[in-house]
Structure 1
Amino acid sequence: MKRSNQSVRRRNRRIAVAAGAVVAFLGVVLTAQLTNQQGPVAAPTAPAASASAGGARTGELAFVRRQHSDPMAIGDVDAPVVLVQWTDMRCPYCAVFNRETLPVLRREYVDTGKVRIEVHDVAYFGQHSEDGAVAARAAAEQGRFFEFLGAVYQDAPDKGHPDLPRERLIAFAEKAGVPDIERFTADLDDSGLRAAAQASNSEAARLGVTSVPFFVAGDSALSGAQPTSVFRQYLDAAIAKAG
């Protein structure tokens, strides 16, 4: 019984820590919105005109993009809910989400027009994480962002942070069906793509995203590779709130 009680207490502590991180994240974001702070995620100075014009809707947090032809997003730009995801190319739990949960969410929520998914890359596990983010953006330049993520995460180990040397990134691009590998290889050295990846990482740090995968839908957050049933409940609640 003691061992069981200790397990419950440890689990409750983990839940409390995760809940605290979510509250801290939303507190930082909402404060930035209300005070109109400038920075990597500046709050809009005026309400977005409409989703069809591009940009977050009135009441949405400023990092929601809702941009047409966004290569790092899937789903209808006018979907009631945008699920924002922060991910690291070397994160084993991000890989679990991508392999096990994302296909279900695409089928049940994205393909049915209920949810749009927008990805923000981060580099929390060293230089190879940043290199992976640059490579994913290089694949996005050719419309193969999610295919590249799928290739990387399909090959990820259950534990640890796999190395992503240049030759391996090129192999993933080939597996993902990136049409022009020569262009992709050149883009790995594109200073603009690297600056964008670094800015995304700095933005996440400023917002208080301290672990990945991390998600925001509406005004609530979810951390970790939770079971698919948890994501269903989470998105259903966000959809109901969005009306």
Structure 2
Amino acid sequence: MNRRSLLLSGGAAVVAAGAYAGLNSLTGGRAPSLSQTLLPTAAQAQTGEGAVDTSRVMDLVLGNPDAEVTIIEFASYTCPHCASFHANVWPALKAEYVDTGKVRFEYREVYFDAYGLWAALVARCGGEMRYFGISDMLYDEQNQWARGADGNAVADNLRRIGRRAGMSDDELNQCLTDRDLATAMMQVYQEGMTEYGIQGTPSFVINGTTYSNMSMDEFRAILDPLLT
């Protein structure tokens, strides 16, 4: 199955540079250019120079925290195959295994591009209680918000989603220009991709073993023996 892939060596640095260089457009010029304030810190995260505080990067978890089986999904908000998974497989996976307490599910964001990072910042802006609801909106409406003519259009589309989730423009702009959080998110993203050998999205780590994108039947074939 075709999946979106990323070479970590240099790829994340390119994403960071593009994301941070464009973040100033998210506030419509109402804040200082973040291409100057974010990029140096991001470079530290890429090269390992200086400590990056990742304590504010909240874990994104659903299900029974004490379940014997853990699924970690690695996905990008701009990945079409990830949107397809969330439309066609995730509802059944959640209903059969997560909501029933059989599985602990953890979501890990992947940033292929600036827009994916921006979307993640908007989702996290809603806090733990609203994160997965905003995440659903981002995947369900990926073809609309991610196809803006330019960064300003995409930023406006993301703001609209944020407003529908109950946030004000001031709140959204504050989240979108949070350089420390963005840098920490990039650090956590890189560490996770390296730790589990993730090469594309969506990918899944089930009790320590990494798998590529799968159908619901393939999930059942892996999960059911682990639960017996």
- Aligned partners of 1:152, 1:201: CA distance in 2, in Å? 19
* From 141, 145, 149, the counterpart of 1:155: 141
Considering Cα pairs closer than 8 Å and 6+ residues apart, tell me whether 1 or 2 has the greater RCO.
2
Question: Aligned partners of 1:181 and 1:73: how far apart in 2?
Answer: 27
Q: CA RMSD in A?
A: 2.8
How many corresponding residue pairs?
170
Shift of 1:94: 0.7
Candidates 128, 134, 156, aligned match of 1:167: 156
CA contact (8 A) 1:85 1:213 kept: yes
Q: Cα distance, 1:194 vs. partner?
A: 0.6
Q: CA deviation at 1:219?
A: 2.9
TM-score, scaled to structure 2: 0.65
Is 1:130 matched up with 2:136?
no
Normalised TM-score (structure 1): 0.62
**Change in 2 beyond 3 A, CA 1:71/1:168:** farther
Say yes or no: does 1:108 pair with 2:68.
no
Q: Are the counterparts in 1 of residues 75 and 202 from structure 2 also a CA contact under 8 Å?
A: yes
- Residue 213 (1) aligns with residue 202 (2): yes
In the alignment, structure 1 segments of 5+ residues that lack a partner are 1-10, 15-38, 41-69
After superposition, the Cα gap between the structure-2 partners of 1:178 and 1:115, relative to the gap in structure 1 and judged at 3 Å, is farther
What aligned pairs does 1:195-214 form with structure 2 within 5 A after superposition?
195-207=183-195, 208-214=197-203
Distance 1:206 1:76 in 2: 26
Superposed displacement of residue 204, structure 1: 3.5
CA displacement 1:164-185 (0-9 Å, x = unmatched): 722111112234x245554233
- Structure having the higher helix fraction is 2
Aligned-partner SS, 2:116: helix
* Runs (5+) with no aligned partner, structure 2: 3-44, 47-57
| Residues 1:97 and 2:60 are matched in the alignment | no
Within a 5 Å distance, the mapping from 1:30-109 to structure 2 comes to 72-109=60-97
Percent identity, please.
Answer: 25
Alpha-carbon distance between aligned partners in 1 of 2:161 and 2:221, rounded to the nearest angstrom: 33
